[in-house]
Structure 1
Amino acid sequence: MQNAVSVPSRRLSIWLSFFGFMLVGISSGVSGPILPSLGAYYHVGDATIGLLLLVSPFAYFLSSLSSGLLIEKFGLRWLLLLGTVIFALGFAGFGLRLPFLWLFGARLCIGLGSGIIETGFNIYISTQPRQETLLNNLHAFFGVGSLLGPLLVSALLTLLWGWNITYLFLVVLCLPLALGLGPLFSVPANIQDTQRDEPARKEGIFGATLKLPVVWIATLFLLVYVGVETCAGSWGYTFLLNERAQSPLIAGWIVSGYWLGLTLGRFFLQRQAERMGISSTVLVYICLICIVLSALLAWLVPSGISAALAFCLMGLGVAPLYPLTVAIMPKLVPSHLAASAISLLISISIIGLGVFPWLAGLLAQAVGIWTLMPFIILLTLAMIILWRVLARHIASPA
Structure 2
Amino acid sequence: MLQTLAYYLAFLIIGLASASFGPGLPEFARNTGAGLAALSSLFLFHRVGYIAGSLGGGRLLDRTRGNRLTGLGLGLIALGLVSVSRAASLPVLLASILVLGLAQGTAETGANTGVVRLHGDRAGPYMNGLHLSFGVGALLSPLIVSASRAGTGSFRAAYAGFAALAALAGLWILRLPDPPARSRSAGEAGRNPLSFWMIAGLFFFTVAGEAGFANWAFSYARKAGLASETVAGLLTSVYWTSLTLGRLIGISLVRKLGPLRLLTLIIPGALAGSAVFLAFPDAAWAVWTAAALLGFFQASAVPASFTLAGDLGILSGSTAGLFGAACSLGGMTLPWLIGRFFDATGGAVFPVLIAASQAAALACLAGIRMARRKAGAGRG
TM-score (ref. length: structure 2): 0.90
Q: What is the one-letter code of the residue matched to 1:245?
A: L
What is the match of residue 295 of structure 1?
274
What is the match of residue 230 of structure 2?
249
1:72 aligns with 2:53: no
Q: Counterparts of 1:312-351 in structure 2 under 5 Å? A: 312-333=292-313, 338-351=316-329
What is the match of residue 369 of structure 2?
391
The alpha carbon displacement at 1:310 in A equals 2.8
* CA deviation string 1:190-219 (max 9, x = no partner): 35xx4xx99xxxxxx69x759833222211
1:163 aligns with 2:141: no
* CA deviation string 1:21-76 (max 9, x = no partner): 01010101111111101111222211322223322211111111122321222210
TM-score (ref. length: structure 1): 0.86
What is the match of residue 180 of structure 2?
189
Q: Distance in 1 between matches of 2:313 and 2:253?
A: 27
Number of paired residues?
Answer: 373
What is the match of residue 232 of structure 1?
213
Q: What residue ranges of structure 1 are gaps of 5+ in the alignment?
A: 1-10, 199-204
What is the match of residue 8 of structure 1?
none
Q: Name the Cα RMSD after superposition.
A: 2.5
What is the match of residue 14 of structure 1?
4
Q: Distance in 2 between matches of 1:123 and 1:30?
A: 25
What is the match of residue 348 of structure 2?
370
Q: Distance in 1 between matches of 2:349 and 2:86?
A: 44
The alpha carbon displacement at 1:391 in A equals 1.9
What is the match of residue 36 of structure 1?
26
Q: What residue ranges of structure 2 are gaps of 5+ in the alignment?
A: none
SS of the residue corresponding to residue 178 of structure 2 reads: coil
Q: What is the one-letter code of the residue matched to 1:252?
A: G
Q: Counterparts of 1:183-222 in structure 2 under 5 Å? A: 183=175, 185-190=176-181, 194=183, 212-222=193-203
Moved more, 307-316 or 293-302: 293-302
Q: Does the 8 Å CA contact 2:32/2:87 hold for their aligned counterparts?
A: no
Pairing partner for 1:309 from 284, 289, 301: 289
The alpha carbon displacement at 1:241 in A equals 1.9
Q: What is the one-letter code of the residue matched to 1:342?
A: A
Q: What is the one-letter code of the residue matched to 1:288?
A: I
Q: Distance in 2 between matches of 1:339 and 1:40?
A: 40
What is the match of residue 357 of structure 2?
379
Q: Counterparts of 1:138-153 in structure 2 under 5 Å? A: 138-153=130-145
* CA deviation string 1:173-206 (max 9, x = no partner): 11320221133x3322235xx4xx99xxxxxx69
Q: What is the one-letter code of the residue matched to 1:369?
A: G
Q: What is the one-letter code of the residue matched to 1:307?
A: V
SS of the residue corresponding to residue 20 of structure 2 reads: helix
Q: Distance in 1 between matches of 2:131 and 2:363?
A: 24
Q: Counterparts of 1:97-136 in structure 2 under 5 Å? A: 97=87, 99-127=89-117, 128-129=119-120, 130-136=122-128
Q: Does the 8 Å CA contact 1:90/1:105 hold for their aligned counterparts?
A: no
Q: Counterparts of 1:80-99 in structure 2 under 5 Å? A: 80-97=70-87, 99=89
